[in-house]
């Protein structure tokens, strides 16, 4: 079915995004995979093209388009290349940007955002901890008041862009006795004494994403690196999770759609028993189901994007789009591997890498089980 939420400006922007991906990302995928990171040149080129400042006002180096569909378009085009690249860029321009723009002081915006938009600074978000997972209220990283600032101690794990981030938004407990109401956000910068990166984590998939552990040992952070209000960090995070989750849904379904399209072409060409694999009735019916499911999910996600653009996407509806898109993505890609037969299990085939890359989407941005818990609570259960 035709998608009706885009206008001529979005289509022109998509062409630019695709051109960037074809020129700056696709030819270098093997390098990214080998180095387990996206090099700075790709970030700088994305910044030069204006892709990193979509949510940032013009006076700080961004474009402030005020239309989330542009975020969606860029995420979709990058997701067609690699789910990992989409997650790395997405954490920066789609997840971290609202924190800086909405919560930053004028001085902080002037200090950080121009280089954030240019790609000279790469951002990460340090929420998840080894013992907490999706339970953000249970974090153990602490920040104790000191003269002129705070002293941070603790660690974070599974941090996308953690291997190279210049700015890390870190959630730490400032008033332990207040529980979730005693958490504050800090911006930790590259080069601060007491800030250390652990190894690049050896993940099942998304190899080209530089995912790392982060450690803070007696790390002094000045008062002017506090982001937002004191002890309101948990609320700040909750207020921005809807965008993170609709963004994840956008990437999930775009990734699945691309690999499904490639699989359809494959089964048209692949022969077995004297006919194309796709012409077997079971496969034909399976692909018909997959295409329909993807299109239905795309319509649902598009509706969520429009709702978010109009400030009416609820946390519960964002949770629905996140878990369902991840579920469909994994179901589709598992079927695509099967349709490729033995070749689907070979790393040299995109479908195998995509299958591995997708598995984490049912875990991150709040596990699918947590999403269903939120939906169930909203239903009064």
For 55-68, give the DSSP string.
TS-GGGT------H
Domain assignment of residue 33, yes or no: yes
Domain boundary among 230, 256, 280: 230
Boundary of a domain, candidates 230, 263, 286: 230
> Do 148 and 284 fall into the same domain?
no
Domain of 216: which CATH number? Answer: 2.40.110.10
CATH number, residue 261 = 1.20.140.10
Residue 361 maps to a domain: yes
Residues taking part in catalysis: 244
Per-position DSSP letters for 194-211, written without gaps between them:
TEEEEEEP--SS-TTS-E
**Domain carrying residue 95:** 8-121
> Quick one: 253 and 226 in the same domain?
no
pLDDT score of 96: 98
The pLDDT assigned to 136 comes to: 74
Residue 318 maps to a domain: yes
Q: Are 272 and 371 found together in one domain?
A: yes
In a domain, 304, yes or no: yes
**Assigned domain for 152 exists:** yes
Task: Report yes or no on 282 lying in a domain.
Answer: yes
Does 220 lie in the same domain as 204? Answer: yes
Cα(187)–Cα(173) distance, integer angstroms = 14
For residues 276 and 214, membership in a common domain is answered with no
Does residue 312 lie in a domain region?
Answer: yes
Res 133: pLDDT: 65
Residue 89 shares a structural domain with residue 129 = no
Q: Residues 26, 102: one domain?
A: yes
Q: Looking at the domain assignment, is residue 2 inside a domain?
A: no
pLDDT for 42 equals: 97
Based on the domain organization, do 70 and 138 belong to the same domain?
A: no
User: Do 240 and 373 share a domain, yes or no?
Assistant: yes
Q: How far apart are CA 73 and CA 16, in angstroms?
A: 10
Domain finish residue from 230, 259, 284? 230
Residues 142 and 57 occupy one common structural domain? no
Ordered per-residue pLDDT tens for the chain, 381 residues: 899 999 999 999 999 999 999 999 999 999 999 999 999 999 999 999 999 999 999 999 999 889 999 999 999 999 999 999 999 999 999 999 999 999 999 999 999 999 999 999 999 999 999 876 667 778 999 999 999 999 999 999 999 999 999 999 999 999 999 999 999 999 999 999 999 999 899 999 999 999 999 999 999 999 999 999 999 999 999 999 999 999 999 999 999 999 999 999 999 999 999 999 999 999 999 999 999 999 999 999 999 999 999 999 999 999 999 999 999 999 999 999 999 999 999 999 999 999 999 999 999 999 999 999 999 999 999
Name every residue whose Cβ is closer than 8 Å to that of residue 336 and which is 6 or more positions away in sequence.
Answer: 259, 260, 263, 344, 351, 354, 355
- Regarding whether 67 and 140 lie in a shared domain, the answer is no
Q: How many domains does one find in the chain?
A: 3
Whether residue 290 is found in the same domain as residue 345 = yes
90: domain CATH number? 1.10.540.10
Closest by CA position to 317, among listed 379, 274, 263, 363: 379
Residue 133, exposed/middle/buried by CB under 10 A (0-12, 13-18, 19+)?
middle
């Amino acid at each position: 079915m035709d998608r009706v939420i885009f206008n001529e400006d979005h289509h022109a922007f998509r062409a630019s995004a695709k051109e960037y991906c074809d020129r700056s990302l696709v030819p270098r995928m093997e390098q990214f995979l080998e180095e387990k990171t996206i090099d700075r040149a790709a970030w700088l080129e994305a910044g030069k093209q204006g892709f990193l400042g979509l949510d940032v006002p013009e006076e700080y180096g961004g474009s402030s388009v005020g239309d989330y569909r542009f975020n969606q378009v860029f995420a979709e085009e990058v997701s067609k290349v690699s789910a990992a690249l989409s997650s790395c860029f997405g954490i920066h321009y789609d997840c971290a940007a609202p924190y800086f723009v909405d919560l930053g002081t004028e001085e902080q915006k002037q200090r950080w955002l121009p280089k954030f938009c240019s790609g000279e600074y790469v951002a990460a978000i340090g929420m998840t901890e080894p013992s907490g997972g999706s339970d953000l209220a249970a974090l153990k990283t602490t920040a104790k008041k000191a003269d002129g600032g705070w002293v941070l101690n603790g660690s974070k794990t599974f941090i996308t862009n953690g291997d190279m981030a210049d700015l890390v938004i870190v959630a730490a407990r400032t008033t332990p006795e207040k529980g979730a109401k005693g958490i504050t956000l800090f911006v930790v910068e590259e080069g601060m004494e007491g800030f250390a990166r652990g190894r690049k984590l050896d993940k099942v998939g998304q190899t080209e994403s530089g995912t790392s552990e982060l450690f803070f040992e007696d790390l002094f952070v000045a008062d002017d690196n506090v982001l937002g209000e004191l002890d309101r960090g948990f609320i700040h995070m909750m207020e921005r999770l809807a965008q993170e989750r609709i963004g994840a849904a956008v990437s999930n379904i775009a990734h699945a759609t691309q690999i499904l399209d490639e699989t359809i072409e494959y089964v048209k060409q692949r022969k077995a028993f004297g006919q194309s694999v796709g012409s077997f009735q079971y496969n034909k019916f399976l692909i018909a189901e997959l295409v329909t499911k993807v299109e239905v999910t795309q319509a649902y996600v598009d509706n969520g994007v429009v709702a978010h653009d109009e400030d009416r996407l609820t946390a519960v509806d964002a949770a629905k789009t996140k878990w369902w898109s991840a579920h469909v993505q994994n179901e589709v890609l598992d079927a695509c591997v099967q349709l490729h037969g033995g070749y689907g299990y070979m790393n040299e085939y995109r479908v195998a890498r995509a299958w591995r890359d997708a598995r984490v989407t049912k875990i991150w941005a709040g596990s699918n089980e947590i999403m269903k818990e939120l939906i169930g609570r909203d239903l009064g259960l």
